[in-house]
Structure 1
Amino acid sequence: MNNNYIRQAVTDTIIKCHISTFPIDCFNILNRFDYKVCTYSELQSRNLELYKMCVSYSEDAFRIGNMHIIAYNDKKPPKRIRFSLMHELGHHILGHKNDTPENEEEANYFASNILAPRIAMYYAKLKTVADVSELFEISSSAAYYAAQDFSEWCNEVCQSGMHDYDRSLYAHFYNSVYNGFVYSIKKCEFCGATVYNEKMPYCKGACALHDEPKRTPMFDVLSADDRKVLLRLENNWLYDF
C-alpha cells in the first residue's frame, strides 16, 4: 500500500478517536479499539510463556491479535514506547497478517503520521528537530524521520494540491473560537483559561511569566516559490474545507 493510503488510514483513526490535541494519548486510543495494554514486566509475572513469546518477537512491543492484547517493554524510554504502541496499532488498522519487512515499514509510517501529522507540523511552524520531538513527544530519531517526510509532504502539496485526507484533518482541527488550525489545547495553570497553540501552559498577558526564547531555524525544506504556493494554499484552506 502507498503512503497516501496510510495517511488516509491515520486521518480516519484521528477522527474516529476524537483526537483534538497533541501529543496524543496513545493508551486512550488503544482502549478505543478495545485493546488491553500491559507491560512486559506485568506479563512476565502473570504469564511467563506469553512473555517469552513476546520478547522473542520484539524487544519493544508485541500485538497478540487473537487475544486483543498489546504488550510493551516498560524499560524503554517513554517516547520510544509511544512510537512502539502506535506501530502496533498500525498493524491492526492496516490489516497486517504477516511479519514482513514491508509490513514493518508501513506500521512505522502509520505510527509516525498519527503521532505527528504533517499538516499539524506545518501549522505548528516548528523550527528544530528538537521542537518536533518536544511537541509530539517522540524520540529524536522519530522526529528526524518525520521532518524528512514533512519535506516530501510539502513538495506534494505544492505540486498536486491538498489531498482529501488533509482537507479532512484541517476541518477536524479547525477551531472557530481560535479561527484557525489548533494542534495544542491546554488549560492556563494560573487562570484556567483555554490556551490554544502555545508552548507553555499559561495564557499570554497577565499570566505570562516570560517571553518564549528565540530559537534557531531548522529545516529549510522549501524554496521561496514553494513558500508562496503553500501560503496561498493555506489561505484557501481556511475557507474551503
Structure 2
Amino acid sequence: MTELTWRRGFKTEANRIALRAREKMGLTPICPIDPLQVCERFDIRLLKLSEIDPKSSFLRSESTKFSAVTVPCGLHTAIVHNDSHHPHRQRSNICHELAHCFLGHKCTPPLTPHGERAHDGSVEAEANYLGGALLLTNEGAWHVMYRQLLAEAQHVYGISEAMLNYRLRISGAYTRYRRAGAY
C-alpha cells in the first residue's frame, strides 16, 4: 500500500481549521468537540438516515454500509448520517463530512448514474485527516500522552480506539512523548 503524499502544509492547515472550529465554539484546543453542536453553530442541517425516505438513493445498497454524505439543501448544506452506527462512528462520520464543508469540497452525488459509489481518493483522504483532527487536535493528542490519559481518552473524546491510535501517531504525540523520555 502506498503512503499518501499530502499537499504542502495540509496537515498544519487541517489542525488550524480544527482549532478555529473549537475557538468559534468557545472551546480550548484540548477540549472534546460535539459534532452536533458544530453543525448547529455553522448552520449545517444534520439529518438521520433513519428519517430519510426508504426509497431514497442513499439506500440502494445495504444501509449498514452507508456512513454519511454532504448534500445541498436549498440555500444550506445538510449532512445525512447513518444513526444506526456506533456513536463513536457517527461522530467520526459527521466530522468527516464537516471536513468536506470546511475544506470547501464541492458536494457531489454519492452514486454515479450507474449506481456505483462516486469516490475521489485525495478529497476523501483530506476529509479523513481533518475529520480526525476535528475529533482530536494535535494539542489534544499531546495532552492525552503527557497527562497519561490513554485509558479514558476514547470516552472523553468520543472516538474509537483506532481513531485514537491514528491521531496519537499522525499528530506526532507518540514520538514526542518517547523523545521526551516520558515513557
Q: After superposition, what is the alpha-carbon deviation per residue over 1:84-103, rounded to whole angstroms, capped at 9, x for unaligned?
A: 10110000000112641111
Contact 2:81 2:90 in 1 (8 A): yes
Structure 1 residue 52: Cα displacement: 3.0
Match of 1:17 among 22, 25, 28: 25
Q: TM-score normalized by structure 2?
A: 0.73
Q: Amino acid of the residue matched to residue 160 of structure 2?
A: S
> 1:144 aligned to 151, 155, 165, which one?
165
Higher-Rg member (1/2): 1
Measured in 2, the distance between the counterparts of 1:54 and 1:16 equals 37
SS of alignment partner, residue 47 of structure 2: strand
Say which of 112, 126, 131 aligns to 1:111. Answer: 131
- Offset of 1:116 from its aligned partner? 0.9
Do 1:54 and 1:62's aligned partners in 2 also have CA atoms closer than 8 Å?
Answer: no
Work out whether 1:222 is the aligned partner of 2:146: no
| Cα distance change on mapping 1:76 and 1:151 into 2, 3 Å | same
Structure 2 vs 1, CA of residues 49 and 29 (structure 1 numbering), >3 Å: closer, same or farther? Answer: same
Q: For residue 56 of structure 2, give the secondary structure of its aligned residue in structure 1.
A: helix
The amino acid that maps onto 2:164 is A
Task: Give ranges in structure 2 of 5+ residues lacking alignment.
Answer: 1-6, 109-118
Q: Does the Cα contact within 8 Å between 2:169 and 2:175 map onto a contact in 1?
A: no
Decide whether aligned partners of structure 1 residues 22 and 5 sit closer, same or farther in structure 2, where only a CA change above 3 A counts: closer
Contact 1:116 1:136 in 2 (8 A): yes
Q: Does the 8 A contact of 2:69 with 2:81 survive in 1? A: yes
Q: Which runs of 4+ in 1 moved over 6 A?
A: 53-56
Matched, 1:91 2:86: no
User: Alignment partner of 2:51: what SS?
Assistant: helix
Please, which moves more after superposition, 8-17 or 100-109? 8-17
How has the CA–CA distance of structure 1 residues 103 and 148 changed in structure 2, closer, same or farther, with 3 Å as cutoff? same
Q: Which amino acid aligns with 2:92?
A: F
| Local SS of the residue matching 2:80 | strand
**C-alpha contact (below 8 Å) 2:44/2:78 kept by paired residues:** yes
Take 2:179 and 2:105, find their aligned partners in 1: how far apart are those partners? 35
1:83 to partner: Cα distance: 0.7
Q: In 2, distance between residues paired with 1:85 and 1:55? A: 19
TM normalised by structure 1 equals 0.57
Instruction: Check 1:77–1:126 CA distance in 2 against 1; reply closer, same or farther (3 A cut).
Output: farther
Matching residue's letter, 1:15: E
- CA contact 2:132–2:167 (8 Å) conserved in 1: yes
Pick from 8, 12, 16: which aligns with 1:4? 12
Aligned sequence identity (%): 22
